[in-house]
Structure 1
């Protein structure tokens, strides 16, 4: 298993920590991080305000009125900076993110609409937006803490700590702005987008459990009941594996998920098959299924391959006509298929603490993954010798590394591509050139 994990860029022997469905869904939102940051700012401001009050009271008790006058002058100077920050920050936020949204729109139009989720899930993007809003809110709160002109003996609070905190937040905002611009520019580069998709796909592969024996799924016993979907219609994004395993263990049964992650389900669709006894109660199965408007990487084994195929198809369209990008997508498709070539597929088995199988989750088989990776691109690649040469080289490489029982779909796609080129390209020399294996397409 270490080989395919290395291929994905993960450390050997290290499995990535799986996020809970709630945390994963929060990562797919853009509101949570800014909201949490602004709530945290209120708490920090309240603590800083108490510190400022305590400092003034301590100086007044010690009759250090000269020091207090110095603090008043320093705070008055800092007020000018805080006022500028508060007035300029919202304008800055609007301009920066307007430009960024244009860049994301261009990337989604040229590569695939699915790349927008990379922008939404980016930690730098969320941190930048959250810190920008937090700095703006903090500057407004600090301005409310400034008192009018007063003598040192009469002043109750000098927002010195608050002003210093605002300046620190401003410095952090500038640092994150530089990092954010770099991240946005990288998002517009197809090589970075493809690499991000591939790394996310390998994380899903690394989290997927491997069956101990090939006959375990067949040994589940007869089906005794079914559970239908009663929620809204949409794409099956993921299931709460821990809750399903617990419900199956308490009932003494095995649950088998019928639709695959990424399937579109409607109310009444059979969702779970029960083996070995009656179905668990509706209460124990509540909040175990997440349905949304789009697929996610959380448990979707083939979603990365789907996105790579989409990018290759978009690149081969007449509107874009960028075969080099299609070759880059094929590179990663070959990488992904090579990594899972020796891995048990078709089903993922989840066990309880005693090692008993409690949940069976279907995943795409080898033939389905090969078809997903090559069928559509192969159909659009006939007129581009750069792409046909790369597909031939990729299929040949996979045929060498895949087990013997998994070579049939690879040879079938190769034969179909050769047949399509021979029927489409009239010149024999051009046909020979288009079907010559080349890992770079055309050098």
Structure 2
């Protein structure tokens, strides 16, 4: 039996999906969906062309030239519509997405540049762009299918199915355009952006395995106490410099099991890695070969939500700091961000943190991964906002109410950082408020700030 304690999380639990760095990479890019749509429309057009050819052959074999002539006239009428759609679609795409890029730029400047990822990862945005391009490509392909032979008896193909398919794509484009405008306007509203950030944070927390205590990572030269035993080898990072975005936990668990060792990740998700620094500590044996650890760590230029527990709080703090700057001066937005900070911390208040363990199929621990601790998460959510918002009574009142709520929810051993921030906030308000009446007003808890 393992010495690791079994813990339970108050968050809704789902079976964690296996990490797919490729899937996350494709979600962070904008080229894959349009490219796949254009390739798919070629296949659909080829099938439609074969159906049109089969329809013409059937009518010619049956000698039904009158019906064939009617189809030719219908196709000629549809050709006008197809030509108009083809000429207007690219102009429409350019205008719509030029305006969208301006909206994204404005949102990034108003909230934080890190929220631009919400626009890039938006499924409706990618679907709209993909369908627009696919409709344009389809119109070009359909126009090439028209037969210039004037005699219906010599016609080999009449693009009836293709023309109907084009009209369906136009209708789908209009529907997606309406949905896209609605989704874009929602993402330009700070309340919806903050709600999306909180939703992503809850998804990360819900997919985390059961955390354990007693496995705090240490640097080179130190030994981890407890069930891991001493460090027997180190594995250094030999890739490019960048932010640690993902860890292929399933691969590392398989490698550790195959070599009979326990691997401990030294950096946390979101740390910046420099080539040559240690990334894995090996306990109980020799380090696995480099080829076995290939593609186990994903390094990129910026943090992502995929496995980063603190990234949501980081973005909420950035939004609050931007709102409290002298250039923006919008404390109400800071209060909205604090609402979600308190919500996230309340969900994590009784959840074991500091490190999580990944086991193999036999239940043997194989990979220990560090995650932010409770004190670090509380500091991330409140420290910078407290320093910048001490002069805004709306912010201080909301922060005090949030700290009081968390003090009611958190277990006794986790109240120290909350009490510390409450005292630091009181001191900051005393320095910022000129009179006792102003200080008393700013230190009165209020869940709406100034409700």
Offset at residue 406 of structure 1 (A) = 0.4
CA-to-aligned-CA distance 1:160-215 (integer Å, 9 cap, x gap): 1111111100000000000000000001100000000000000000011113x645
Match of 2:371 in 1: 363
TM-score (norm 2): 0.95
Match of 2:154, SS state, is coil
TM-score (norm 1): 0.96
Offset at residue 17 of structure 1 (A) = 4.4
RMSD: 1.4
Is 2:14–2:207's contact at 8 Å kept on the other side of the alignment? no
Match of 2:291, SS state, is coil
* 1:15/1:322 CA distance change after superposition, 3 Å: farther
Match of 1:360, SS state, is strand
Is 1:16–1:203's contact at 8 Å kept on the other side of the alignment? no
* 1:2/1:104 CA distance change after superposition, 3 Å: farther
Is 1:18–1:207's contact at 8 Å kept on the other side of the alignment? no
Match of 1:159 in 2: 159
* 1:402/1:318 CA distance change after superposition, 3 Å: same
Structure 2: runs of 5 or more not aligned: 1-6, 217-225
Is 1:255–1:360's contact at 8 Å kept on the other side of the alignment? yes
Offset at residue 2 of structure 1 (A) = 9.2
User: Counterparts of 1:123-272 in structure 2 under 5 Å?
Assistant: 123-211=123-211, 214=213, 218-272=226-280
Match of 1:405, SS state, is helix
Matched, 1:320 2:328: yes
For the residues of structure 2 that align with 1:180 and 1:18, how far apart are their CA atoms? 30
* 1:214/1:232 CA distance change after superposition, 3 Å: closer
Is 1:3–1:339's contact at 8 Å kept on the other side of the alignment? no
For the residues of structure 2 that align with 1:242 and 1:359, how far apart are their CA atoms? 9
Offset at residue 282 of structure 1 (A) = 1.0
Q: How many residues align structurally?
A: 436
Match of 2:444, SS state, is coil
Match of 1:9 in 2: none
Match of 2:264, SS state, is strand
Matched, 1:48 2:52: no
Match of 1:283, SS state, is helix
Is 2:269–2:307's contact at 8 Å kept on the other side of the alignment? yes
Matched, 1:350 2:364: no
Match of 2:90 in 1: 90
User: Counterparts of 1:325-336 in structure 2 under 5 Å?
Assistant: 325-336=333-344
Offset at residue 420 of structure 1 (A) = 1.1
Match of 2:404 in 1: 396
Offset at residue 274 of structure 1 (A) = 0.5
Is 1:351–1:357's contact at 8 Å kept on the other side of the alignment? yes
Matched, 1:377 2:414: no
Match of 2:433 in 1: 425
Match of 1:64 in 2: 64
* 1:190/1:18 CA distance change after superposition, 3 Å: farther
Match of 2:292, SS state, is coil
Match of 2:109 in 1: 109
Structure 1: runs of 5 or more not aligned: 6-11
The farther-off stretch of 145-154 and 117-126 is 145-154
Match of 2:223 in 1: none
Match of 1:439, SS state, is coil
